[in-house]
Copies of this chain bind each other. A is one copy, B any other.
Amino acid sequence: MSGLGRISHRDISSEIVRRIAERLWEPGALIPGEQALAAEFGCSRATVNRALQDLARSGILERRRKAGTRVSLNPVREARFVIPLVRQEIEAKGAAYGYRLLGCEPVTPDEELRARLGFGKPARMLHVRCLHLADGAPYQYEDRWINLDAVPEAGGVSFSAVSPNEWLVTNAPFSRAEFIFRAAHAGGEEAALLGVPEGGAVFVAERLTWLADKPVTFVRMVHPPSHRVVTEL
């Protein structure tokens, strides 16, 4: 606790974390109520409430009305990953962003892709493939399908200067998305483009988005094995 001035909710948070760390309050144990803590710290209940809510949000505490507040038995049930634009991701690392369009053509999706997107009937889609570079080195191979029924304007875009990633962010809102992370073996073309041996390990992120139950886009983003997805809690 900072000896001067008023008590901040951060002071309370860190003091509570300290007590948990030092086993004064064991996992699963009930901790004092908000009134008691407010009295102890000499601050208002609202301040204690904010500190406890912060800790509950981060999974350290569990709160239930009437039952009180407990130290979590199994903290952290979820991790949050930020999904930025590729360009921002690259520039944030201090590297120069590069972009190369590899192909852009209207196609009729095959059975597998339609099943994936939850399409009943065939549809017109745009297939765009491109490469994102960091300081000239391959960073991400983007293999994307855009549903022209959901985003008809995409049909008139060349994607030679602006990547589909960036164009869609400001032109195709979505209400639901699904992410998949996995490891895979690089296929022939991907391998050559990313500069990894054929069959070598690559990191794959896939994203599907819908706007009001209508598929918008499916994208497969392939990274060299040096890629890392990082998050902090």
Contact = CB atoms under 8 A, between A and B. Distances in A.
Contact of A77 (B77, B83, B212, B228): B83
A175 B229 CA distance: 21
Contacts of A27: 170-171, 173
A79 interface: yes
Contact of A83 (B18, B76, B171, B173): B76
A48 to B, nearest CB: 16
Contacts of A231: 178-180
Copies of chain A in the complex: 2
Contact of A185 (B77, B171, B200, B211): B200
A66 B228 CA distance: 37
Contacts of A161: none
Nearest to A201: B201
A56 to B, nearest CB: 13
Interface in A57-87: 58-60, 71-85
Range of interface residues on chain A? 35 or more
A204 B203 CA distance: 10
Interface in A15-31: 17-18, 20-21, 27-28
Nearest to A176: B233
Contact of A74 (B75, B78, B84): B84
A107 interface: no
A3 to B, nearest CB: 19
B182 A203 contact: yes
Nearest to A26: B173
A76 to B, nearest CB: 5
A230 interface: yes
15 contacts: A21-B212, A27-B171, A74-B170, A79-B177, A80-B80, A80-B81, A176-B233, A178-B231, A178-B233, A180-B230, A181-B229, A183-B202, A183-B225, A183-B227, A185-B201
Interface of A: 14, 17-18, 20-21, 27-28, 58-60, 71-85, 88, 169-171, 173-185, 200-204, 211-212, 214, 223, 225, 227-233
